[in-house]
Amino acid sequence: MPEYLILTRIEELKEGGYLAKSDDIQGLIAQGRTIAETIEIAQDVARKLIESYIEHGDPLPLN
């Protein structure tokens, strides 16, 4: 699978943990207890989203 650079914002949540979102690919949202865990989850979500687009023959919604 090719590599993609997807810009992702990570913010600290008031109730604890972190939230990652991206404007580059719709639906990329991930939450974790630590920044490292949040990044790992976000990478997995991005991979699954991209695989789904490719599997269905849809163009990638990357900005």
Does a structural domain hold residue 62? no
Distance CA 60, CA 63 (A): 9
Q: Give me the domain span that covers residue 25.
A: 9-55
pLDDT in tens for each of the 63 residues of the chain? Answer: 678 889 999 999 999 999 999 998 888 999 999 999 999 999 999 999 999 988 999 888 765
Distance CA 34, CA 23 (A): 21
Does a structural domain hold residue 30? yes
Does a structural domain hold residue 23? yes
Does a structural domain hold residue 1? no
Does a structural domain hold residue 28? yes
Does a structural domain hold residue 15? yes
Write down the pTM of the prediction.
0.85
Domain count, the chain: 1
